[in-house]
Amino acid sequence: MANIVQFENVGLRYGTNPETLSDVSFTLQAGSFYFLTGTSGAGKTSLLKLLYLSQRPSRGVIRLFGEDAVTLPRSRLPGFRRRIGVVFQDFRLVPHLSAYDNIALPLRVAGMPEDEVDEPVREMLAWVGLNERAGARPPTLSGGEQQRIAIARAVITRPEILVADEPTGNVDPDMAERLLHLFASLNSLGTTVVVATHDLHLLSRIPAARMMRIDRGRLLDPTGALRFPPPGETPAP
């Protein structure tokens, strides 16, 4: 299986502060499912920012889709970013747009003709179980509903990589499991999925997934070779 992401000795420093990430090296295989775990402040969000190209590293090499993403000209960044779907921890929905229009936004930005937008948006609304909330604006939606709209928006373009930052943090356990299975179904279509979470109880729900752990800016298992125990048991620390 080909590698879709490769980090080599990557470091990230904000200003003159100590490094937030240090000597991070790993590869992600195309079509695989990964969990990125670690306590709050361990560096999960910073790592994801590098992965979806909102932040450049202070040092090291990052390759995406077989190309050097660090030296990539700014003119090519939008095209690369369209190949990566992102579910943000704070949703980042546009508050004055309806749920329908939030989901449609990536298609419209990409220049899809308006008469071709409706069908995929309706499919996404059905996929996340929110057909009846199509006209609702984000401030009137619950946290779980906003999260599902954010996920639908992230995946409507069928990205090659999906990155989700604590996507189950605002929903109840039943909805958390449902969201994970939405990711798994997308993964079954070939999308590489990376889910950052601190909720270890969710990890065994996707048996085929791999896990990478980060602690104080360093990956403890960069191979993603760890496997999960049967449901009911606690993963080893």
Angle of helix 173-188 versus helix 143-155 axis, rounded to 10 = 10
pLDDT for residue 171: 75
Computed over every residue of the chain, the mean pLDDT equals 88
Over residues 129-134, the mean pLDDT reads 94
Using one digit for the tens of pLDDT, what is the confidence trace for 64-109?
Answer: 999 999 999 989 988 888 899 999 988 999 999 999 999 999 999 9
pLDDT for residue 172: 77
Residues 199 and 206: beta-carbon distance below 8 Å: no
Q: Which of 44-53, 72-81, 173-182, 225-234 has the lowest mean pLDDT?
A: 225-234
pLDDT for residue 201: 74
Q: What number does CATH give the domain 1-83+159-170+190-237?
A: 3.40.50.300
Range list for CATH 3.40.50.300 in the chain: 1-83+159-170+190-237
Nearest one of 89, 84, 19, 37 to 222, comparing CA atoms? 37
pLDDT for residue 9: 95
pTM of the full predicted structure?
0.87
